[in-house]
Amino acid sequence: MISFPRCFWPTFITHAWPHMTDIEATHVLFTLLQKFSKFKRFLINSAN
């Protein structure tokens, strides 16, 4: 699992989960991105 330095995180993540490690926060962000891309694909498919 890739880990980004904390300075790259949006402030809302670092404020919401200050107890998280960088790896945990990276995992959460990747999960959100994957869910968003699936949702985006669903929107594109339903639009056609």
pLDDT tens per residue, range 7-44: 556 665 556 566 667 777 778 888 888 888 888 888 78
Q: From CA 47, how far away is CA 9, in angstroms rounded?
A: 33
> Under a CB-based contact definition with an 8 Å cutoff, are residues 2 and 23 in contact?
no
pTM beyond 0.75, yes or no: no
> Under a CB-based contact definition with an 8 Å cutoff, are residues 20 and 28 in contact?
yes
Q: From CA 38, how far away is CA 34, in angstroms rounded?
A: 6
